[in-house]
A and B are shown apart, each in its own frame.
Chain A
Amino acid sequence: MEIEKTDRRSQQQDYVLRTVEERGVRLIRLWFTDVLGQHKSVAISPAELEAVFDEGLQFDGSAIDGFSRIQESDVLARPDASTFELLPWSNESEPSGTVFCDITNLDGTPFAGDPRQVLRRNVEKARAAGFEMFCAPEVEFFYFANNDPSSPPQPLDQASYFDLTTADVSSDLRKRTLHMLEALSIPVEYSFHEDSPSQHEIDLQYTDAMTMADSIMTLRLAVKKIAMESGVYATFMPKPLNGVQGSGMHTHLSLFQNDVNAFHDPDAADGLSPTAHSFIAGLLHHAREISAVTNQLINSYKRINEGHEAPRYVSWARNNRSALIRVPIAKLGKPDSTRVEYRALDPACNPYLAFSVLLAAGLRGIEQNLSLPEEATANLYNLTRNEQRDLGVNRLPASLHEALDEMEDSTLMRESLGDHIFEWFLRNKRAEWDHYQQQVTPFELERYLPSW
């Protein structure tokens, strides 16, 4: 079996080398992400590719956020040949290719600062327990006239949910993005105009967590790239506008055990297996701890606090969109569509780390056989402290600061992220928060300057 895997790997590399030759590829972009989920790329020439497959590409990691270490700072980028694609936006006469990389230490062991390796470790842990997690995210984003931070962002339109407007620049952008995504092996389920002006949503068809994390990286790049070509700016910032809903990334999760949806139980009254109950219970139990990773920006909490489609309270429900976890009713005769929707995530997360902690939290629930709390049937947007206590629901952290406190005390987070990323992330985010705390905001000026 090991031999077979090695054969498969070299077959895949052969395939890529051959494609590069046949298609006259001029440049291969090696992709990876830093700890915060920023897309990184280093280009090599086709002549170097074979050697890079064999030996990896050595570079100094100290300039990458979260890659720095005290002693040795050199790491290797090792292309994952199964992810090789020709970039559909490259010049047709000089095509370029792209391939996601795993980062390793010079001795070949996984580099602890590489988010993709972290997700791989968590996925493998789930596999050892017999589970494969599939994800289907609904990615929201805005198109704005530009990214100039000195004035409020300007939407391209004033349309809203499902609106079909003529001469809608952004619909055209979205359409071009969809074609691009399909050419990049990322099938789209739906796409439409969302609630807010110039806000759009692209729903991806489910796939395994690793492929999906790669796909989200590619999607963010494709959306921005196509917007830029048309002279507009696309943003995945969770809450760019006052008074209208922000951008989330509700993500549908399901677990499969071989070919069986482990969440489905045809004999249960609610159609959900004990595994589903414990997985949801695990997510709920750890929701506050994982928040710093599922919602990693100071701005993320502006979306959470505002409500709208974003959940504020740690709760689950079958048909209550104010809950953190929604369990959509599986279509009749389609037990495989049984899934849970985690609604806190936003599109500015690092998808590798976000899927890692979601998977770890759910698995922990299964390991510990946690039982599912009462379903939340009331609308949970505005609860007083007493009502919260009566219903037994917690709030999600109201700020990055609170989320970091929760994270720091979490063994689940330390274990699922690994010491390196856990510690770096806390340090980096604490510094971000401290910096923010020292800022005088326009809100304060407007509110206090006239009266004091």
Chain B
Amino acid sequence: MEPLLVFGNPPPPELTQALDMGSWAWKPVSNYEQALTAEPEEGWAGAIIAADTDLPAALSFCRNLRQGDNPLKPVLFLAAATQLTSLDWRDDLFDDFVLTPLRPEELQARLQHLFWRTGRGTRPELIEYGPLTLNTETYQAALDGRPLDLTYMEYELLKFLTSRPGKVFTRETLLSQVWGYDYFGGARTVDVHVRRLRAKLSEEHANLIQTVRSVGYRFGQSRWGL
């Protein structure tokens, strides 16, 4: 899974402890440039901002994360109780906050709650997007409430894409993430399966999977985008 971005290097020890307790993958940075350089191909799973040492820097970091077409979400803000008033009117910059001093148990619960979709901790059984539902427990997909019958690889590809709406994936990434070692035919295989999936989604919903010219494919819009 993609790592969480952590602002503040080194992060507060309680945060490190909570992240390790939940065995999250994470990466600390001290500024936005570092965050850009270190960004994994599939993007960050979310961000945790330790704001208590340098509040203005933390807020400007958040603004950077939230700008552009595909703002990063979710963002968890760690602030001191004395900083609370500074957060007024800045609700767009983060999705939840925790007050310092931190209690690792609480932090752990917040992480679980906020980042459950990244596949760590309590894994969701249902992935929903618009008319589409995937039950990862039973391997069943449905479109407008009607069962959508898929082959195994079609299901795996759709599951991968629907778990990461709005993200653009290259064929190579899809191939290595969805097919793993057991593939042949190179990136053509991805095109073939996308076409098969679109055919099954029917004309009406075929555009859920968009071709991003000379890059790859994108499923729907970012869940956190609008």
Contacts and interface: CB of A to CB of B under 8 A. Distances in A.
A225 B182 CA distance: 34
B196 A15 contact: no
B152 A183 contact: no
B199 A185 contact: yes
From A14, A182, A211, name the one whose CB has the most chain B CB atoms within 10 angstroms.
Answer: A182
Contact of B196 (A18, A22, A185): A185
B155 interface: yes
A4 B180 contact: yes
B200 A185 contact: yes
Nearest to B190: A259
Contact of B140 (A19, A83, A132): A19
A134 B185 contact: yes
A38 interface: no
Nearest to B141: A19
B153 A82 contact: yes
Interface string A12-36: 1011101100110000000000000
Of residues B154, B198, B199, which shows the largest number of chain A Cβ atoms within 10 Å of its Cβ? B199
Nearest to A23: B147
Nearest to B154: A185
Given A22-B139, A187-B195, A8 B155 contact: no
B192 interface: yes
A208 B184 contact: yes
B189 A208 contact: yes
Contacts of A14: 139
Nearest to A8: B182
B187 A259 contact: yes
A11 interface: yes
A206 interface: yes
B147 A208 contact: no
A256 B188 contact: yes
B151 interface: yes
A208 B187 CA distance: 12
Interface residues of B, number: 28
B181 interface: yes
Interface in A99-151: 127, 132, 134
A81 interface: yes
Contact of A258 (B154, B155, B186): B186
Among A81, A83, A88, A256, find the residue whose CB has the most chain B CB atoms closer than 10 A: A256
Interface in A322-360: 336
Contacts of B181: 1, 4-5
A407 interface: no
A15 B139 contact: yes
A22 B135 CA distance: 11
A86 interface: yes
Contacts, number: 82
Contacts of B199: 182, 185-188
B138 interface: yes
Interface in A171-211: 182-183, 185-188, 205-208, 211
Chain A CB within 10 A, most for which of B138, B139, B153, B172: B139
A85 B151 contact: yes
B151 A82 contact: yes
A15 B135 CA distance: 12
A84 interface: yes
Contact of B138 (A22, A81, A86): A22
Contacts of B139: 14-15, 18-19, 22
Contacts of A86: 149
Contacts of A127: 184
A304 to B, nearest CB: 31
Contacts of B188: 132, 134, 208, 256, 259, 336
Nearest to A16: B152
Given A83-B151, A182-B200, A132 B195 contact: no
A86 B149 CA distance: 7
B200 A183 contact: yes
B7 to A, nearest CB: 36
Nearest to A185: B196
A185 B140 CA distance: 16
B186 A132 contact: yes
Given A182-B199, A208-B192, A4 B149 contact: no
Q: Which of B155, B180, B196 has the most CB of A within 10 A?
A: B196
Contacts of A336: 188
A98 to B, nearest CB: 11
A15 B152 contact: yes
A132 B191 CA distance: 15
Contacts of A187: 195-196, 198-199
Interface of A: 1, 4-5, 8, 11-12, 14-16, 18-19, 22-23, 81-86, 88, 127, 132, 134, 182-183, 185-188, 205-208, 211, 256, 258-259, 336
- Identify the 3 closest CB pairs spanning chains A and B, nearest first: A182-B199, A259-B186, A86-B149
16 contacts: A1-B181, A15-B155, A18-B140, A19-B139, A19-B149, A22-B139, A23-B147, A84-B152, A86-B149, A88-B149, A127-B184, A208-B184, A208-B188, A259-B187, A259-B188, A336-B188
Given A18-B139, A84-B152, A259-B186, 11 more contacts: A4-B181, A4-B182, A15-B139, A22-B138, A23-B147, A132-B185, A132-B186, A182-B200, A183-B200, A208-B185, A256-B188
Interface of B: 138-140, 147, 149, 151-155, 171-172, 180-182, 184-189, 192, 195-196, 198-200, 202
